[in-house]
Structure 1
Amino acid sequence: MTALLAVARYEFRMQARKRSLWIAAVLLGGTLVVLQGDRGPRSLPVGTPAREVMATWALLFSILMPLAYGMLLADRLVRDRRLRVEPLLESLPVGPVARLGGKYLGGVAACGLPGLAALLVAAVTELPKRHDPALLGWALVAFAVVTLPGIAMVAGFALVCPTFLSVPLFRVLFVGYWFWGNMLAPAFLPSLTGTVLTPIGDYAATWLLGSGQTALFAGTPGLLPFLRPDPSGASAALSVAVIVLCGLIPMTAAALAAHRATRQTWPAKA
Protein backbone atom coordinates (compact mmCIF):
# COMPACT_ATOMS: atom_id res chain seq x y z
CA MET A 1 0.00 0.00 0.00
CA THR A 2 2.89 2.36 0.80
CA ALA A 3 4.43 1.74 -2.63
CA LEU A 4 1.06 2.28 -4.33
CA LEU A 5 0.57 5.62 -2.60
CA ALA A 6 4.14 6.67 -3.34
CA VAL A 7 3.69 6.00 -7.05
CA ALA A 8 0.29 7.73 -7.02
CA ARG A 9 1.74 10.79 -5.30
CA TYR A 10 4.60 11.03 -7.79
CA GLU A 11 2.26 10.56 -10.73
CA PHE A 12 -0.14 13.17 -9.38
CA ARG A 13 2.57 15.78 -8.92
CA MET A 14 4.00 15.13 -12.37
CA GLN A 15 0.67 15.26 -14.20
CA ALA A 16 -0.73 18.20 -12.21
CA ARG A 17 2.28 20.33 -13.19
CA LYS A 18 1.70 19.86 -16.90
CA ARG A 19 0.68 23.12 -18.50
CA SER A 20 -0.98 21.21 -21.35
CA LEU A 21 -3.54 19.78 -18.90
CA TRP A 22 -4.58 23.19 -17.64
CA ILE A 23 -4.44 24.92 -21.01
CA ALA A 24 -6.64 22.27 -22.66
CA ALA A 25 -9.07 22.27 -19.73
CA VAL A 26 -9.36 26.06 -19.74
CA LEU A 27 -9.90 26.19 -23.50
CA LEU A 28 -12.56 23.48 -23.52
CA GLY A 29 -14.23 24.71 -20.35
CA GLY A 30 -14.20 28.30 -21.56
CA THR A 31 -15.71 27.26 -24.88
CA LEU A 32 -18.56 25.55 -23.05
CA VAL A 33 -19.17 28.61 -20.86
CA VAL A 34 -19.38 30.89 -23.89
CA LEU A 35 -21.49 28.56 -26.05
CA GLN A 36 -23.72 27.00 -23.38
CA GLY A 37 -26.98 28.25 -24.90
CA ASP A 38 -30.43 28.61 -23.36
CA ARG A 39 -30.27 25.33 -21.40
CA GLY A 40 -27.02 26.29 -19.70
CA PRO A 41 -26.67 27.19 -16.01
CA ARG A 42 -26.43 30.91 -16.71
CA SER A 43 -30.03 30.81 -17.96
CA LEU A 44 -31.40 29.31 -14.75
CA PRO A 45 -33.64 31.80 -12.95
CA VAL A 46 -32.71 33.30 -9.59
CA GLY A 47 -34.13 31.11 -6.85
CA THR A 48 -33.17 27.84 -8.53
CA PRO A 49 -31.92 25.44 -5.82
CA ALA A 50 -28.14 25.31 -5.47
CA ARG A 51 -28.03 21.57 -6.19
CA GLU A 52 -29.75 22.10 -9.56
CA VAL A 53 -27.42 24.96 -10.46
CA MET A 54 -24.26 22.98 -9.74
CA ALA A 55 -25.64 19.82 -11.36
CA THR A 56 -26.13 21.82 -14.55
CA TRP A 57 -22.63 23.26 -14.33
CA ALA A 58 -21.11 19.81 -13.74
CA LEU A 59 -22.92 18.33 -16.71
CA LEU A 60 -21.90 21.27 -18.89
CA PHE A 61 -18.22 20.85 -18.11
CA SER A 62 -18.46 17.07 -18.56
CA ILE A 63 -19.48 17.51 -22.17
CA LEU A 64 -15.99 18.33 -23.44
CA MET A 65 -13.40 18.60 -20.66
CA PRO A 66 -12.83 14.80 -20.36
CA LEU A 67 -11.50 14.91 -23.91
CA ALA A 68 -8.47 16.76 -22.56
CA TYR A 69 -7.89 14.10 -19.90
CA GLY A 70 -8.06 11.25 -22.39
CA MET A 71 -5.64 12.97 -24.76
CA LEU A 72 -3.20 13.74 -21.97
CA LEU A 73 -3.10 10.24 -20.45
CA ALA A 74 -3.03 8.38 -23.77
CA ASP A 75 0.76 8.30 -24.02
CA ARG A 76 1.55 7.85 -20.33
CA LEU A 77 2.49 4.14 -20.34
CA VAL A 78 3.67 4.21 -23.95
CA ARG A 79 6.09 7.01 -23.10
CA ASP A 80 7.85 4.85 -20.51
CA ARG A 81 8.56 2.28 -23.22
CA ARG A 82 9.56 4.86 -25.79
CA LEU A 83 12.02 6.53 -23.43
CA ARG A 84 13.32 3.10 -22.35
CA VAL A 85 12.75 3.75 -18.66
CA GLU A 86 10.52 0.71 -18.22
CA PRO A 87 13.45 -1.66 -17.46
CA LEU A 88 14.67 0.84 -14.86
CA LEU A 89 11.23 0.95 -13.23
CA GLU A 90 11.12 -2.85 -13.16
CA SER A 91 14.34 -2.90 -11.17
CA LEU A 92 12.78 -0.85 -8.37
CA PRO A 93 11.25 -2.59 -5.31
CA VAL A 94 7.74 -1.81 -6.55
CA GLY A 95 5.63 -4.48 -8.19
CA PRO A 96 4.00 -3.96 -11.60
CA VAL A 97 0.51 -3.90 -10.08
CA ALA A 98 1.47 -1.14 -7.63
CA ARG A 99 3.13 0.86 -10.42
CA LEU A 100 0.12 0.56 -12.68
CA GLY A 101 -2.37 1.26 -9.89
CA GLY A 102 -0.36 4.26 -8.73
CA LYS A 103 -0.25 5.70 -12.23
CA TYR A 104 -4.00 5.28 -12.48
CA LEU A 105 -4.82 6.86 -9.12
CA GLY A 106 -2.37 9.70 -9.64
CA GLY A 107 -3.67 10.36 -13.15
CA VAL A 108 -7.29 10.41 -11.98
CA ALA A 109 -6.45 12.79 -9.14
CA ALA A 110 -4.47 15.13 -11.39
CA CYS A 111 -7.16 15.22 -14.07
CA GLY A 112 -9.74 15.80 -11.38
CA LEU A 113 -8.10 19.08 -10.36
CA PRO A 114 -9.25 21.11 -13.40
CA GLY A 115 -12.75 19.65 -13.10
CA LEU A 116 -12.97 20.54 -9.42
CA ALA A 117 -11.49 23.99 -10.02
CA ALA A 118 -14.00 24.66 -12.80
CA LEU A 119 -16.95 23.82 -10.55
CA LEU A 120 -15.63 25.89 -7.64
CA VAL A 121 -15.03 28.86 -9.92
CA ALA A 122 -18.55 28.46 -11.30
CA ALA A 123 -19.96 28.37 -7.77
CA VAL A 124 -18.04 31.51 -6.79
CA THR A 125 -19.24 33.38 -9.88
CA GLU A 126 -22.83 32.37 -9.10
CA LEU A 127 -22.65 33.65 -5.51
CA PRO A 128 -23.19 37.38 -6.25
CA LYS A 129 -26.29 36.52 -8.29
CA ARG A 130 -27.87 33.82 -6.13
CA HIS A 131 -26.53 34.65 -2.64
CA ASP A 132 -26.52 30.99 -1.64
CA PRO A 133 -23.35 29.68 0.09
CA ALA A 134 -24.64 26.12 -0.41
CA LEU A 135 -23.40 26.44 -3.99
CA LEU A 136 -19.88 25.60 -2.80
CA GLY A 137 -21.01 22.46 -1.00
CA TRP A 138 -23.09 21.28 -3.93
CA ALA A 139 -20.13 21.95 -6.22
CA LEU A 140 -18.19 19.31 -4.27
CA VAL A 141 -21.11 16.87 -4.42
CA ALA A 142 -21.57 17.42 -8.17
CA PHE A 143 -17.85 16.86 -8.71
CA ALA A 144 -17.95 13.59 -6.76
CA VAL A 145 -21.00 12.05 -8.47
CA VAL A 146 -21.00 13.65 -11.94
CA THR A 147 -17.42 14.58 -12.83
CA LEU A 148 -15.11 12.16 -11.03
CA PRO A 149 -16.65 8.82 -12.17
CA GLY A 150 -16.30 9.86 -15.81
CA ILE A 151 -12.65 10.77 -15.24
CA ALA A 152 -12.07 7.36 -13.66
CA MET A 153 -13.52 5.63 -16.71
CA VAL A 154 -11.63 7.77 -19.22
CA ALA A 155 -8.33 7.31 -17.37
CA GLY A 156 -8.62 3.52 -17.32
CA PHE A 157 -9.03 3.23 -21.07
CA ALA A 158 -6.64 6.09 -21.91
CA LEU A 159 -3.80 4.45 -19.99
CA VAL A 160 -4.25 0.89 -21.21
CA CYS A 161 -5.64 0.97 -24.75
CA PRO A 162 -2.69 2.85 -26.34
CA THR A 163 -0.38 0.03 -25.24
CA PHE A 164 -1.84 -2.19 -27.95
CA LEU A 165 -3.19 0.54 -30.23
CA SER A 166 -1.08 3.41 -31.46
CA VAL A 167 -1.56 6.62 -29.49
CA PRO A 168 -2.85 8.61 -32.50
CA LEU A 169 -5.33 5.85 -33.37
CA PHE A 170 -6.62 5.71 -29.80
CA ARG A 171 -7.09 9.48 -29.71
CA VAL A 172 -9.08 9.44 -32.94
CA LEU A 173 -11.25 6.55 -31.74
CA PHE A 174 -11.69 8.18 -28.34
CA VAL A 175 -12.97 11.44 -29.82
CA GLY A 176 -15.35 9.53 -32.10
CA TYR A 177 -16.62 7.44 -29.20
CA TRP A 178 -17.09 10.49 -26.98
CA PHE A 179 -19.48 12.25 -29.31
CA TRP A 180 -21.23 9.02 -30.42
CA GLY A 181 -21.62 7.55 -26.96
CA ASN A 182 -22.42 10.68 -24.96
CA MET A 183 -24.14 13.31 -27.08
CA LEU A 184 -25.71 11.58 -30.07
CA ALA A 185 -29.45 11.33 -29.50
CA PRO A 186 -30.57 7.68 -29.88
CA ALA A 187 -33.38 8.81 -32.16
CA PHE A 188 -30.86 9.57 -34.91
CA LEU A 189 -28.49 6.58 -34.71
CA PRO A 190 -28.03 3.63 -32.34
CA SER A 191 -25.89 4.98 -29.52
CA LEU A 192 -24.91 4.42 -25.90
CA THR A 193 -26.09 7.95 -25.15
CA GLY A 194 -28.58 7.99 -22.30
CA THR A 195 -27.49 4.68 -20.74
CA VAL A 196 -25.98 4.02 -17.33
CA LEU A 197 -22.67 3.52 -19.18
CA THR A 198 -22.52 7.16 -20.22
CA PRO A 199 -19.45 8.72 -18.50
CA ILE A 200 -20.75 12.23 -19.04
CA GLY A 201 -22.70 11.78 -15.79
CA ASP A 202 -26.19 12.18 -17.19
CA TYR A 203 -27.95 9.98 -14.62
CA ALA A 204 -26.16 11.52 -11.64
CA ALA A 205 -26.88 15.04 -12.86
CA THR A 206 -30.55 14.13 -13.36
CA TRP A 207 -30.70 12.88 -9.77
CA LEU A 208 -29.19 16.12 -8.50
CA LEU A 209 -31.75 18.14 -10.43
CA GLY A 210 -34.44 16.31 -8.47
CA SER A 211 -37.28 18.20 -10.09
CA GLY A 212 -38.66 15.67 -12.56
CA GLN A 213 -36.50 16.94 -15.43
CA THR A 214 -33.83 15.02 -17.32
CA ALA A 215 -30.38 16.57 -17.46
CA LEU A 216 -29.69 15.43 -21.01
CA PHE A 217 -30.61 12.00 -22.41
CA ALA A 218 -30.80 9.78 -19.30
CA GLY A 219 -33.34 7.01 -19.81
CA THR A 220 -34.08 7.97 -23.42
CA PRO A 221 -35.52 4.95 -25.32
CA GLY A 222 -33.03 3.40 -27.72
CA LEU A 223 -30.44 0.66 -28.12
CA LEU A 224 -30.06 -1.75 -25.16
CA PRO A 225 -33.18 -0.74 -23.21
CA PHE A 226 -32.07 -2.66 -20.09
CA LEU A 227 -29.28 -0.08 -19.75
CA ARG A 228 -31.81 2.76 -19.78
CA PRO A 229 -33.74 2.59 -16.48
CA ASP A 230 -35.94 5.46 -15.43
CA PRO A 231 -33.88 8.23 -13.78
CA SER A 232 -33.89 7.94 -9.97
CA GLY A 233 -31.51 7.89 -7.04
CA ALA A 234 -31.02 4.15 -7.47
CA SER A 235 -30.29 4.39 -11.18
CA ALA A 236 -27.91 7.29 -10.54
CA ALA A 237 -25.99 5.19 -7.99
CA LEU A 238 -25.98 2.27 -10.45
CA SER A 239 -24.62 4.51 -13.19
CA VAL A 240 -21.82 5.84 -10.98
CA ALA A 241 -20.85 2.31 -9.95
CA VAL A 242 -20.94 0.97 -13.51
CA ILE A 243 -18.92 3.89 -14.90
CA VAL A 244 -16.19 3.46 -12.29
CA LEU A 245 -16.18 -0.31 -12.82
CA CYS A 246 -15.77 0.18 -16.57
CA GLY A 247 -12.67 2.23 -15.90
CA LEU A 248 -11.26 -0.44 -13.60
CA ILE A 249 -11.79 -3.29 -16.05
CA PRO A 250 -8.93 -2.39 -18.45
CA MET A 251 -6.69 -1.53 -15.49
CA THR A 252 -7.37 -4.91 -13.89
CA ALA A 253 -6.69 -6.73 -17.15
CA ALA A 254 -3.42 -4.82 -17.60
CA ALA A 255 -2.39 -5.50 -13.99
CA LEU A 256 -3.06 -9.22 -14.36
CA ALA A 257 -1.10 -9.33 -17.62
CA ALA A 258 1.83 -7.49 -16.04
CA HIS A 259 1.80 -9.77 -12.99
CA ARG A 260 1.71 -12.85 -15.18
CA ALA A 261 4.59 -11.58 -17.32
CA THR A 262 6.64 -10.89 -14.20
CA ARG A 263 6.08 -14.41 -12.89
CA GLN A 264 7.09 -15.93 -16.24
CA THR A 265 10.29 -13.91 -16.53
CA TRP A 266 11.37 -14.12 -12.88
CA PRO A 267 12.96 -17.63 -13.11
CA ALA A 268 14.97 -16.59 -16.12
CA LYS A 269 16.23 -13.50 -14.32
CA ALA A 270 16.99 -15.51 -11.22
Structure 2
Amino acid sequence: MIATMRYEFAMQIRRPSLWIVYGLAFAALVAVLPYWSLTGGSHGGNAVAGAMSRAAQLLVTMLAMVYGCMLADRPGRDRALRVDGILDATPSGRTARLAGKYAGVCAATAVPMALAYFGRAAAYAVAEGEPSALGWAAVTFAASTLPGLVFLGALGFAGPLLVPPMVFRVLFVAYWFWGNLIPAYLMPTLSHTIFSATGEYARYGLLAPLPDEYGRGPAAMFDVLRPGFTPAAAWLWMGVMVALAAALLVLVRLRLSRSES
Protein backbone atom coordinates (compact mmCIF):
# COMPACT_ATOMS: atom_id res chain seq x y z
CA MET A 1 0.00 0.00 0.00
CA ILE A 2 2.76 2.44 0.90
CA ALA A 3 4.65 1.77 -2.32
CA THR A 4 1.49 2.23 -4.39
CA MET A 5 0.63 5.42 -2.52
CA ARG A 6 4.08 6.91 -3.14
CA TYR A 7 4.02 5.96 -6.83
CA GLU A 8 0.50 7.29 -7.44
CA PHE A 9 1.26 10.50 -5.56
CA ALA A 10 4.39 11.10 -7.63
CA MET A 11 2.63 10.42 -10.93
CA GLN A 12 -0.37 12.61 -10.13
CA ILE A 13 1.57 15.56 -8.74
CA ARG A 14 3.69 15.70 -11.92
CA ARG A 15 0.71 15.99 -14.28
CA PRO A 16 0.91 19.38 -16.05
CA SER A 17 -2.87 19.33 -16.56
CA LEU A 18 -3.39 19.19 -12.79
CA TRP A 19 -1.65 22.51 -12.27
CA ILE A 20 -3.03 24.13 -15.41
CA VAL A 21 -6.67 23.34 -14.63
CA TYR A 22 -6.27 24.34 -10.99
CA GLY A 23 -4.60 27.56 -12.06
CA LEU A 24 -7.44 28.45 -14.41
CA ALA A 25 -10.04 27.65 -11.77
CA PHE A 26 -8.19 29.70 -9.17
CA ALA A 27 -7.96 32.64 -11.57
CA ALA A 28 -11.72 32.43 -12.10
CA LEU A 29 -12.26 32.24 -8.33
CA VAL A 30 -10.18 35.36 -7.72
CA ALA A 31 -12.00 37.17 -10.53
CA VAL A 32 -15.57 36.48 -9.39
CA LEU A 33 -15.36 35.94 -5.61
CA PRO A 34 -13.99 38.21 -2.83
CA TYR A 35 -11.06 35.93 -2.08
CA TRP A 36 -8.75 38.78 -1.10
CA SER A 37 -11.08 40.62 1.25
CA LEU A 38 -12.40 37.74 3.42
CA THR A 39 -15.06 40.02 4.87
CA GLY A 40 -18.23 38.72 6.45
CA GLY A 41 -16.62 35.63 7.89
CA SER A 42 -16.23 36.39 11.57
CA HIS A 43 -19.95 36.60 12.43
CA GLY A 44 -19.15 38.60 15.56
CA GLY A 45 -16.71 36.04 16.92
CA ASN A 46 -12.98 35.47 16.43
CA ALA A 47 -12.11 37.56 13.37
CA VAL A 48 -9.08 35.44 12.43
CA ALA A 49 -11.02 32.17 12.67
CA GLY A 50 -13.83 33.73 10.67
CA ALA A 51 -11.46 34.91 7.95
CA MET A 52 -9.89 31.48 7.60
CA SER A 53 -13.33 29.88 7.49
CA ARG A 54 -14.38 32.34 4.81
CA ALA A 55 -11.26 31.55 2.77
CA ALA A 56 -11.99 27.82 3.03
CA GLN A 57 -15.58 28.38 1.95
CA LEU A 58 -14.61 30.39 -1.13
CA LEU A 59 -11.86 27.95 -2.08
CA VAL A 60 -14.04 24.86 -1.86
CA THR A 61 -16.80 26.52 -3.87
CA MET A 62 -14.83 26.27 -7.10
CA LEU A 63 -11.71 24.17 -6.60
CA ALA A 64 -13.58 21.12 -5.30
CA MET A 65 -14.96 20.69 -8.82
CA VAL A 66 -11.41 20.52 -10.18
CA TYR A 67 -10.48 18.05 -7.44
CA GLY A 68 -13.23 15.61 -8.39
CA CYS A 69 -12.73 15.95 -12.13
CA MET A 70 -8.96 15.37 -11.94
CA LEU A 71 -9.55 12.02 -10.23
CA ALA A 72 -11.79 10.64 -12.94
CA ASP A 73 -9.18 8.92 -15.10
CA ARG A 74 -7.14 7.36 -12.28
CA PRO A 75 -9.21 4.33 -11.11
CA GLY A 76 -9.12 2.57 -14.48
CA ARG A 77 -5.62 3.63 -15.43
CA ASP A 78 -3.97 0.27 -14.74
CA ARG A 79 -6.43 -1.56 -16.93
CA ALA A 80 -6.20 1.05 -19.69
CA LEU A 81 -2.41 0.62 -19.73
CA ARG A 82 -2.79 -3.17 -19.50
CA VAL A 83 -0.51 -3.46 -16.50
CA ASP A 84 -3.16 -4.81 -14.12
CA GLY A 85 -2.06 -8.39 -14.83
CA ILE A 86 1.54 -7.54 -13.96
CA LEU A 87 0.44 -5.89 -10.73
CA ASP A 88 -1.68 -8.94 -9.82
CA ALA A 89 1.47 -11.04 -10.06
CA THR A 90 3.19 -9.02 -7.34
CA PRO A 91 2.90 -9.95 -3.64
CA SER A 92 0.70 -6.93 -2.93
CA GLY A 93 -3.03 -7.49 -2.50
CA ARG A 94 -5.70 -5.76 -4.55
CA THR A 95 -7.22 -4.11 -1.50
CA ALA A 96 -3.86 -2.69 -0.43
CA ARG A 97 -3.25 -1.38 -3.94
CA LEU A 98 -6.67 0.25 -4.04
CA ALA A 99 -6.10 1.91 -0.66
CA GLY A 100 -2.67 3.12 -1.74
CA LYS A 101 -3.95 4.39 -5.08
CA TYR A 102 -6.82 6.23 -3.38
CA ALA A 103 -4.62 7.82 -0.72
CA GLY A 104 -1.82 8.77 -3.11
CA VAL A 105 -3.98 10.19 -5.88
CA CYS A 106 -6.28 12.10 -3.54
CA ALA A 107 -3.38 13.56 -1.56
CA ALA A 108 -1.61 14.74 -4.71
CA THR A 109 -4.79 16.19 -6.19
CA ALA A 110 -5.42 18.14 -2.99
CA VAL A 111 -1.93 19.70 -2.94
CA PRO A 112 -2.71 22.67 -5.25
CA MET A 113 -5.83 23.44 -3.23
CA ALA A 114 -3.86 23.30 0.01
CA LEU A 115 -1.15 25.56 -1.42
CA ALA A 116 -3.74 28.12 -2.49
CA TYR A 117 -5.40 28.04 0.91
CA PHE A 118 -2.29 28.22 3.08
CA GLY A 119 -0.80 30.81 0.76
CA ARG A 120 -3.86 32.96 1.41
CA ALA A 121 -3.51 32.31 5.14
CA ALA A 122 0.13 33.40 5.06
CA ALA A 123 -0.78 36.56 3.15
CA TYR A 124 -3.49 37.31 5.70
CA ALA A 125 -1.09 36.71 8.59
CA VAL A 126 1.43 39.16 7.15
CA ALA A 127 -1.05 41.81 6.03
CA GLU A 128 -3.07 41.80 9.26
CA GLY A 129 -0.21 41.07 11.65
CA GLU A 130 -2.00 37.92 12.85
CA PRO A 131 0.38 34.93 12.91
CA SER A 132 -2.37 32.89 14.56
CA ALA A 133 -4.02 32.78 11.14
CA LEU A 134 -1.68 29.94 10.15
CA GLY A 135 -2.80 27.86 13.12
CA TRP A 136 -6.46 28.59 12.43
CA ALA A 137 -5.91 27.74 8.77
CA ALA A 138 -4.49 24.32 9.67
CA VAL A 139 -7.40 23.56 12.00
CA THR A 140 -9.97 24.84 9.51
CA PHE A 141 -8.52 22.87 6.61
CA ALA A 142 -8.39 19.66 8.64
CA ALA A 143 -11.89 20.03 10.10
CA SER A 144 -13.89 21.57 7.26
CA THR A 145 -12.10 20.71 4.02
CA LEU A 146 -10.42 17.32 4.43
CA PRO A 147 -13.56 15.32 5.33
CA GLY A 148 -15.28 16.61 2.21
CA LEU A 149 -12.25 15.78 0.07
CA VAL A 150 -12.17 12.26 1.55
CA PHE A 151 -15.76 11.73 0.38
CA LEU A 152 -15.28 13.42 -3.01
CA GLY A 153 -12.17 11.36 -3.62
CA ALA A 154 -14.10 8.13 -3.05
CA LEU A 155 -16.86 9.41 -5.31
CA GLY A 156 -14.23 10.19 -7.93
CA PHE A 157 -13.04 6.59 -7.73
CA ALA A 158 -16.50 5.02 -7.84
CA GLY A 159 -18.12 7.10 -10.58
CA PRO A 160 -15.72 6.35 -13.46
CA LEU A 161 -16.25 2.62 -12.93
CA LEU A 162 -19.88 3.09 -13.97
CA VAL A 163 -19.59 5.72 -16.70
CA PRO A 164 -16.72 6.94 -18.91
CA PRO A 165 -14.43 9.51 -17.25
CA MET A 166 -15.58 12.38 -19.47
CA VAL A 167 -19.23 11.65 -18.70
CA PHE A 168 -18.41 11.43 -15.01
CA ARG A 169 -16.76 14.86 -15.09
CA VAL A 170 -19.90 16.41 -16.56
CA LEU A 171 -22.09 14.64 -14.02
CA PHE A 172 -19.77 15.58 -11.18
CA VAL A 173 -19.92 19.28 -12.00
CA ALA A 174 -23.72 19.05 -12.19
CA TYR A 175 -23.78 17.21 -8.86
CA TRP A 176 -21.53 19.80 -7.26
CA PHE A 177 -23.85 22.66 -8.12
CA TRP A 178 -27.03 20.73 -7.33
CA GLY A 179 -25.92 19.00 -4.16
CA ASN A 180 -23.70 21.67 -2.64
CA LEU A 181 -24.24 25.20 -3.93
CA ILE A 182 -27.85 25.74 -5.06
CA PRO A 183 -30.05 27.37 -2.37
CA ALA A 184 -32.37 24.81 -0.86
CA TYR A 185 -35.53 26.85 -1.50
CA LEU A 186 -35.05 26.82 -5.28
CA MET A 187 -35.45 23.08 -5.80
CA PRO A 188 -35.17 19.75 -3.94
CA THR A 189 -31.45 19.47 -3.23
CA LEU A 190 -28.95 18.06 -0.76
CA SER A 191 -27.27 21.45 -0.59
CA HIS A 192 -26.56 22.64 2.97
CA THR A 193 -27.38 19.23 4.45
CA ILE A 194 -25.07 16.89 6.36
CA PHE A 195 -24.51 15.16 3.00
CA SER A 196 -23.04 18.30 1.43
CA ALA A 197 -19.26 18.27 1.09
CA THR A 198 -18.68 22.01 1.45
CA GLY A 199 -17.75 21.80 5.15
CA GLU A 200 -20.11 24.49 6.42
CA TYR A 201 -21.16 22.41 9.42
CA ALA A 202 -17.57 22.18 10.66
CA ARG A 203 -16.88 25.83 9.91
CA TYR A 204 -20.00 27.26 11.53
CA GLY A 205 -20.53 24.58 14.15
CA LEU A 206 -16.99 24.44 15.53
CA LEU A 207 -14.74 27.17 14.21
CA ALA A 208 -16.70 30.35 13.45
CA PRO A 209 -20.15 29.97 15.08
CA LEU A 210 -23.04 31.85 13.52
CA PRO A 211 -25.19 34.14 15.65
CA ASP A 212 -28.48 32.78 16.97
CA GLU A 213 -30.49 35.10 14.74
CA TYR A 214 -28.94 33.67 11.58
CA GLY A 215 -31.76 32.42 9.34
CA ARG A 216 -31.78 29.60 6.84
CA GLY A 217 -34.43 31.08 4.56
CA PRO A 218 -37.77 29.56 3.60
CA ALA A 219 -38.63 25.98 4.49
CA ALA A 220 -37.41 23.46 1.91
CA MET A 221 -37.45 19.77 1.17
CA PHE A 222 -34.93 17.68 3.10
CA ASP A 223 -34.81 20.22 5.93
CA VAL A 224 -34.71 17.26 8.32
CA LEU A 225 -31.16 16.77 7.05
CA ARG A 226 -30.27 20.38 7.90
CA PRO A 227 -29.73 20.52 11.66
CA GLY A 228 -28.49 23.68 13.32
CA PHE A 229 -24.82 24.62 13.20
CA THR A 230 -23.75 23.03 16.48
CA PRO A 231 -20.61 21.11 17.53
CA ALA A 232 -22.65 17.89 17.52
CA ALA A 233 -23.81 18.55 13.95
CA ALA A 234 -20.22 19.29 12.94
CA TRP A 235 -18.97 15.96 14.27
CA LEU A 236 -21.96 14.20 12.70
CA TRP A 237 -21.09 15.74 9.33
CA MET A 238 -17.47 14.56 9.60
CA GLY A 239 -18.65 11.05 10.45
CA VAL A 240 -21.06 11.03 7.51
CA MET A 241 -18.33 12.07 5.09
CA VAL A 242 -15.94 9.35 6.27
CA ALA A 243 -18.71 6.71 6.33
CA LEU A 244 -19.81 7.57 2.79
CA ALA A 245 -16.21 7.42 1.59
CA ALA A 246 -15.68 4.01 3.19
CA ALA A 247 -18.90 2.67 1.67
CA LEU A 248 -17.96 3.92 -1.80
CA LEU A 249 -14.49 2.37 -1.59
CA VAL A 250 -15.99 -0.96 -0.54
CA LEU A 251 -18.27 -0.80 -3.59
CA VAL A 252 -15.26 0.03 -5.78
CA ARG A 253 -13.42 -2.99 -4.41
CA LEU A 254 -16.42 -5.27 -5.03
CA ARG A 255 -16.85 -3.87 -8.55
CA LEU A 256 -13.20 -4.51 -9.37
CA SER A 257 -13.42 -8.03 -7.96
CA ARG A 258 -16.43 -8.80 -10.13
CA SER A 259 -14.77 -7.43 -13.28
CA GLU A 260 -11.63 -9.45 -12.56
CA SER A 261 -13.48 -12.73 -12.08
Does TM-score exceed 0.5, indicating one fold?
yes
Q: Could you state the TM-score of these two structures normalised by the residue count of structure 2? A: 0.89
Change (3 A) 1:193 1:220: farther
Match of 2:209 in 1: 210
User: Are residues 49 and 42 of structure 1, via their aligned partners in 2, closer, same or farther at CA, if it must alter by over 3 Å?
Assistant: closer
1:213 positional shift = 7.3
Deviations 1:84-118 (Å, cap 9, x if unpaired)?
Answer: 11111111111111111111111221122122211
- Tell me, in whole angstroms, the C-alpha distance in 2 between the residues paired with 1:134 and 1:229: 30
In the alignment, does 2:157 pair up with 1:159? yes
Aligned partners of 2:41 and 2:54 also within 8 Å: no
Measure, in 1, the Cα distance between the counterparts of 2:171 and 2:49: 34
Distance (Å, rounded) in 2 between the aligned partners of 1:177 and 1:216: 25
Which whole-Å CA distance do the structure 2 matches of 1:155 and 1:164 have between them? 15
> For 1:44-63, what aligned pairs fall within 5 Å after superposition?
49-63=47-61
The separation in 2 between residues aligned to 1:188 and 1:173, in whole angstroms, is: 20
Match of 2:191 in 1: 193
The count of aligned residue pairs is 258
SS of 2:186's equivalent? coil
* Greater mean deviation of Cα atoms: 174-183 or 161-170: 161-170
Secondary structure class of the residue paired with 1:247: helix
Name 2:26's counterpart in structure 1. Answer: 29
* Cα gap change, 1:192 to 1:224, in 2 (>3 Å): same
TM-aligned CA deviation for residue 38 of structure 1: 9.5
Corresponding position of 2:81: 83
What TM-score, normalized by structure 1, do the two folds share? 0.86
1:239 to 232, 237, 240: 237
Aligned partners of 1:51 and 1:138 also within 8 Å? yes
CA distance in 2, matches of 1:172, 1:68: 11
Do the aligned partners of 2:150 and 2:245 also contact (CA within 8 Å) in 1?
Answer: yes
Deviation at residue 134 of structure 1 after TM alignment: 0.5
Please give the alpha-carbon distance, in whole angstroms, between the structure 1 residues aligned to 2:89 and 2:128.
56
Distance in 2 of aligned mates of 1:142 and 1:192: 23
Task: Name the SS for the 2:188 alignment partner.
Answer: coil
Deviation digits for residues 198-255 of structure 1 (CA, Å, limit 9, x no counterpart): 10112112122124279997x9842223311111111011112211221221111122
Counterpart-to-counterpart distance in 2, 1:225 and 1:13: 42
SS at structure 2 position matched to 1:32: helix
> Letter of the aligned partner of 2:234 in structure 1?
A
1:96–1:187: structure 2 CA closer, same or farther, 3 Å change rule? same
Please tell me whether residue 184 in structure 1 is matched to residue 187 in structure 2. no
Find the residue that maps to 2:195 and give its secondary structure. Answer: coil
Where does residue 108 of structure 2 map in the other structure? Answer: 110
CA distance in 1 between counterparts of 2:213 and 2:172 reads 26
